[in-house]
Amino acid sequence: MRGDARLDRTQEQAMAETAVGGSGGLVHEVGDLSATETISAAAPAEVGVRFEVDGEIATVTLNRPGRRNAQTFATWAALARMGDTLPDQVRVVVVRGEGPSFSAGLDLRMFTPEGVPGQESFATVAALDDGAFERRIEEAQRGFLWLRRPDIVSIAAVQGHAIGAGFQLALACDLRIVADDVQFCMKEPALGLVPDLTGTKPLVEIVGVSRAIELCLTARRVGADEALQLRLAEMAVPPEELDQAVADLAAALLATDRAAATATKRLLRAAPGRTLEEQAAAERAEQVARIRALFASS
Ligand code: ACO
């Protein structure tokens, strides 16, 4: 059964302000954190991210279904804060969205002169000098970059719309499991923007530069079958099976030795930027460390 598509403001506010219980793990709404000025200035309902830790698995939930999990500066600051404070025991990070859509991307109120309550609008940041403006974007990008860290594996669980910043958040993860109703769309150029939330590199690496140009410049939607064909998704399942498919994948990932998994991900992530010789040297260095560690502990 899919989540309720529409929440009124009172329900939405309550969801953002209320801590959610769960299997003895750490659970909080990020509206409670005052990680940065941006977060503390924003109303909790406008941050809209829930963070839960259960053993070795952390779950990041975009939690504004009434706005299709649209993202703001405060959302990105909250994501960065989660990366900064991720408990050491976490090995798998699941990124998901509450309700019918993973994320409808940027909160379009940022284009209005009023912006999002408690936060800057594009009109405000456009008045900054280039350095200060770029630092704002860099801070937003930090919310996405940590998902590629070698010591964790990040999985995006994507149902419904993943538009613009939503598509880029899914691309920031190592793996994507999608529901059959998924609709990926890189909408930024159609709105006069570029994709700047770290999505262009993984998109090109996954689908190739020609397909990336076509997808970005037409802003057309990519459904589940094509996402599989383009390797934008590792697996597509019926919406009601999405959570279980992600849980099964997380369990399989956790069955692998952590140090070996970390070293292997480090090798694989760096491979596209290296020559064959450089990569072979990196393999040697990682393996020396692995075998030494295995014998040291036996
Ligand atoms: N920003 C702010 N509010 C949004 C956004 C958004 N990006 N997307 C949806 N909402 C709000 C709607 O205004 C609506 O609010 P209301 O109930 O108060 O009227 C509510 O969420 C539900 O939206 P609907 O359009 O009714 O939902 P539907 O399921 O029919 O459509 C869809 C979902 C396709 C995602 C549609 O809402 C949409 O196209 N949204 C805009 C997507 C977009 O252009 N995002 C920016 C991409 S660029 C970037 O991310 C950098």
The pair of three-digit structure tokens given for residue 168, joined into one six-digit string: 């880029």
Q: What does the pLDDT read at residue 31?
A: 43
Could you report the per-residue pLDDT of 167-177, keeping only the tens digit for each?
A: 999 999 999 99
From the CA of 165, give the closest atom in ligand 1: 50
Report helix, strand or coil for 125.
Answer: helix
Helix, strand or coil for residue 156?
strand
Give the chain's largest Cα–Cα span: 64
* Angle of CA points 213, 110, 104, to nearest 5°: 55
> Do 172 and 198 meet the contact criterion of CB atoms below 8 Å apart?
yes
Pocket test for ligand 1, best of 68, 71, 112, 194 (most atoms within 8 A of CB): 68
pLDDT at residue number 118? 86
Going by alpha carbons, the residue nearest to atom 14 of ligand 1 is: 67
Distance from the alpha carbon of residue 244 to the mean position of ligand 1, in angstroms: 27
Atom of ligand 1 nearest to the CA of 168: 50
Q: Give the pLDDT confidence of 205-249 residue by residue, as tens digits.
A: 999 999 999 999 999 999 999 999 999 999 999 999 999 999 999
Residue whose CA is closest, atom 13 of ligand 1? 67
Q: Which residues of the chain have pLDDT under 50?
A: 1-25, 31-41
CA 101 to ligand 1 centroid distance, Å: 9
Measured from CB, residues less than 6 Å from any atom of ligand 1 are 6, 67-68, 70, 101, 104-109, 161, 163-165, 187-188, 191, 193
Query: How confident is the model over 158-169, as pLDDT tens digits?
Result: 999 999 999 999
The answer to whether the CB of 103 falls within 8 A of the CB of 71 is yes
Cβ atoms of 28 and 82 closer than 8 Å: no
